[in-house]
Structure 1
Amino acid sequence: MNIEQARFNMIEQQVRPWDVLDQSVLALLSAVRREDFVPQAYRGMAFMDIDIPLGHGRVEPAPRVEARMVQDLNLSKHDTVLQIGVGTGYITALLAHKAQRVTALEGQADLVATARTNLRQAGINNAEVLQDSGANGLAGQAPFDAILLTGSVAVVPQALLDQLKEGGRLLAIVGQEPIMQATLYTRVANGQFTRQELFDTTAPRLEGFAEPSQFKL
């Protein structure tokens, strides 16, 4: 396989058509070697438009979804970011290139170890991976400029929204299958939040987050 051609095709045929037009994000997709982050058994699928299984019911999202999430957080180099659900560390690496500091929380010990190794080998030194489900955020380091949940939740806990700075953004995939939406919350003045539904997608649940009771008539 011609890896660089496959990477180019991923960007031009999958990512751009999904409204990822931020040149800094597209440049990152060219520079950060996604194939070094996916599990070895799936290395040949690193540039395919699929979710890659990671065990524990978790996946590495398709490249177009990862790119949209990074773009739509609208990060700048002075931002501090909290990521919940690290997987193999690829999204963490993208965030770290865009922000000043990334703190990433992951509940599964093997994924924590994998992500730390991958980030170290990629030369990322402004990201830290901690073992924690992330359901309660990280109040001791709050407030954050941006929070990214890489899996899905039924609802976003208020405790996470409260860990945003004013003007801060939280992006999560919210809802129940088969209908989920990537949703951007922004903290505005007086502790209020705006909500914007960005695109439809689905993702496995993040562990540790509450599920609402089933609706009854």
Structure 2
Amino acid sequence: MMDFAHARRTMVDNQLRTSGITNWHILDVMNRVPRERFVSEARSALAYSDEEIALSETRTMPAPATFGKLVQLAEVGPDDVVLDIACGTGYSTAVLAGLANAVVALDDEEALVVQANDILADLDIGNAAAVCGPLEAGVAKEAPFDVILIEGAVDEVPETLFSQLRDGGRLVAVIGSGNAAVTHLYVKSGKSVVSRAAFNASLPVLAAFKRAPSFAF
């Protein structure tokens, strides 16, 4: 039987630390959350590999280092309320719940949302819950959020999500597709949102955030 605790420590030492993830809170939480619980039994041996893991036909769990870098960029704090978009089976939600005050997780696949809530409850994580709905719509009734994390590549971030950020809130998104995609940090200040490019990251494109095609005449 695979030693998952050892696999977690190896992931932290050989994947997270070597990728520039220095926030000890993130390293500690990712060393404790059982990633194998959030994938199918057939894929559990791959849970700590440095690769994406398919959760459904349209949703994947990001590689540990990629996810860790997104969270580190968001600077999640203990008083923050976080919106976790495209949460899948809830691994990201569980990690964020160990860093934040509360987490609202969102996915548009009902089966994944049900699975996420079941696992979170089984792990006794009481400050997080998943809901089903359109990814691009966010969860307005739970806004404002201190942090919004989008777990997939997007063409652009809709204004709807920026409107759900608290003043001073941060949104992290990967803009573009393939290896040329760039992670951006958006910070809300009053009615304005400023952004900066941070690092390249490759994540599957989320269809809900594809830019509508324009017609040329």
Give the 5 Å matches for 1:140-155: 140-155=141-156
- The one-character-per-residue Cα deviations of 1:155-203 (angstroms, maximum 9, x if unpaired) are 0011111211111000111113342112110012x31112122221122
Q: What are the Cα deviations for residues 110-166 of structure 1, in whole angstroms up to 9, with x where unaligned?
A: 111111111111111111111112211122222111111111110001111121111
Residue 56 of structure 1 and its aligned partner are, at CA, apart by 2.4
Q: Distance in 2 between matches of 1:16 and 1:216?
A: 47
CA distance in 2 between partners of 1:100 and 1:134 (Å): 22
With the length of structure 1 as denominator, give the TM-score of the two structures. Answer: 0.93
2:80 maps to which residue?
79
* 1:178–1:27 distance in 2 versus 1, CA, 3 Å: closer
Corresponding position: 1:92 with 2:93: yes
- Alpha-carbon distance in structure 1 between the residues aligned to 2:24 and 2:64: 16
Distance 1:125 1:168 in 2: 23
Structure 2 counterpart of 1:128: 129
Alignment of 1:38-57 (within 5 A): 38-57=39-58
Are 1:28 and 2:26 an aligned pair? no
Instruction: Give, in whole Å, the separation in 2 of the partners of 1:130 and 1:175.
Output: 26
- Residue 129 of structure 2 is aligned to residue 119 of structure 1: no
Match of 2:19 in 1: 18
The question of 1:213 aligning with 2:202 is answered no
In 2: Cα distance, 1:4 partner to 1:48 partner? 13
In the alignment, the residues of structure 2 paired with residue 9 and residue 63 of structure 1 have an alpha-carbon distance, to the nearest angstrom, of 12
List structure 1 runs of 4+ shifted beyond 3 angstroms. 214-217
Q: How far apart, in 2, do the equivalents of 1:57 and 1:138 lie?
A: 21
Partner amino acid, structure 1, of 2:56: G
Of 72-81 and 86-95, more deviation after overlay is shown by 72-81
Amino acid at match of 1:11: V
Structure 2 gap segments, 5+ residues each: none
How big is the alpha-carbon RMSD for the aligned residues of Structure 1 and Structure 2? 1.7
Unmatched 5+ stretches in structure 1: none
- Deviations 1:6-37 (Å, cap 9, x if unpaired)? 22211111111111000111111111111111
- Seen in structure 2, the aligned counterparts of structure 1 residues 138 and 2 have a Cα distance that, compared at 3 Å, is closer
For 2:63, the aligned partner's letter is: A
User: SS at the partner of 1:98?
Assistant: coil
Matched AA of 1:32: V
Q: Which residue of 1 aligns with 2:194?
A: 194
Q: CA deviation at 1:95?
A: 0.7
The number of equivalent residue pairs is 216
Letter in 2 for 1:114: Q
Does 2:178 match 1:177?
yes
